[in-house]
Structure 1
């Protein structure tokens, strides 16, 4: 991988695309075995050497994660991959997200990005921690944060979490709240573009469906002058899922489909030397993977440094 570091380890260049990391939050998310229920204590212990301390704290069994947005400068345009939790949201079922206040726009500014500079927003899927900064509170009304951007939203998730499906069947009020404050205003502004199957953004960037975590979960592939990366959203929440790809997170809606997508995307990443860029990894944030038997092992970490 031919990459160069910039901005004190927060940026790398892949071919003709610059990738910048903008971190909204990083810290303990909750018990590790609640996050990935299928990974028993022995799995975490066997992999402690590379899980601790940046991804797992053995003393209290806490999973450490990041909320972050990946900023891509490609073909003269600025693309955001996921937009975090947002400020001031009603998320009663999600204590980590409820009424959160943070400096995400400051993090973008430090990456050299103003809201009006953003051309494309990619929501890899419609969970509250991936769409929150789609909008902001403008005098009591939720309004798109990025006024000049096209928002690329998986059609399957838009239906699943939208009113036509009773906001994901009405099982969690958080899903209705998320759609109403972070997705519906983008539709009303005429900035939403629904896609399915695949969607080419430009000569370097292509979206592809990878369902399971949610019906519309997707990955963004980057290919430029021999360099490759895949932004996998919540295909993996913790590096433990690379060692144990059959283990889903507690948030995956279709367990069998999620495992199939994970194996397929990681297998291709290993075969094609794609840098794997998840939404929630702390530490260096992104890494290469290698095929090993029926599973995978960790390769080189990216040059982002710790967030």
Structure 2
């Protein structure tokens, strides 16, 4: 069975109110999150989890706040010795634009996505403004999309599970590493969602749902369940990984 090293590559960032991540908590607190493309090293092919932003803001102040460099997609892949044409597979946590804007550059990749994400990117609710259909049209036309409706093993040591906390077709990715199983969350959270501060736990809340969610009660239960599913949990926008330290 393949054992992977996970490279968190920062390919964008966002500044906003912290409550965008932590539902009902952090109102009025400025916060910055990294946008990751995760590269899995160690299998027979070059696998990415998400592809990030097409035109990231690259500034000294953002990099200082994050504690690591912000790359273009090409720079990020070059740091692990590959180019977009070398990517064999892209596995999507979901299809909000900041997770799929570079898909079209991966001309030779199979792109795995839950069918509900395709449904919503083509016909989004007005509240789902993060779905941008243009991000997916090229790879659809090229026949690169592979839909994954059931929890599945996609490759040796790489599995996906349906976790619709943040979006209807959100998928978390389980990756076998030398240190155990790592889980990249299929929903946009930081470490505080999974490990709330004392004042939140005092309210008998074990986790904090994502700031953007499908159903807040179901999202809470999914985050709680997911937290217990792996040896290593990698929240999708946790700033602690922005330094680029490899998870293995």
So what's the TM-score if we normalise by structure 2? 0.80
User: 1:24-173 to 2 correspondence within 5 Å?
Assistant: 24-26=11-13, 29-39=15-25, 61-87=29-55, 103-135=72-104, 145-162=105-122, 167-171=123-127
Following superposition, the deviation at residue 260 of structure 1 comes to: 1.4
RMSD in angstroms over aligned alpha carbons?
2.8
Cα contact 1:213–1:255 (8 A) shared by 2? no
Can you give the 5+ residue segments of structure 1 that lack an aligned partner in the other structure?
Answer: 1-13, 42-59, 89-100, 136-144, 287-301
Number of aligned positions between the proteins: 225
Match of 1:46 in 2: none
Cα contact 2:36–2:236 (8 A) shared by 1? yes
Following superposition, the deviation at residue 246 of structure 1 comes to: 4.1
**Matches of 2:101 and 2:179 in 1, distance apart?**
34
**Matches of 2:127 and 2:193 in 1, distance apart?**
27
**Matches of 2:82 and 2:181 in 1, distance apart?**
24
Match of 1:278 in 2: 235
Alpha carbons of structure 1 residues 240 and 18: separation in structure 2 relative to 1, 3 Å:
closer
Following superposition, the deviation at residue 222 of structure 1 comes to: 1.4
Match of 1:243 in 2: 195
Can you give the 5+ residue segments of structure 2 that lack an aligned partner in the other structure?
Answer: 57-69, 197-205
Cα contact 1:237–1:281 (8 A) shared by 2? yes
So what's the TM-score if we normalise by structure 1? 0.66
Higher strand share: 1
- Which protein has greater RCO, CA pairs closer than 8 Å, 6+ apart? 2
Cα contact 2:194–2:208 (8 A) shared by 1? no
Cα contact 1:214–1:254 (8 A) shared by 2? no
**Matches of 2:4 and 2:128 in 1, distance apart?**
39
Deviations for 1:54-75, whole angstroms, at most 9, x for unmatched residues? xxxxxx8222210111101243
Q: Which runs of 4+ in 1 moved over 6 A?
A: none
Cα contact 2:53–2:73 (8 A) shared by 1? no
Find the residue that maps to 1:201 and give its secondary structure: strand
Alpha carbons of structure 1 residues 104 and 224: separation in structure 2 relative to 1, 3 Å:
closer
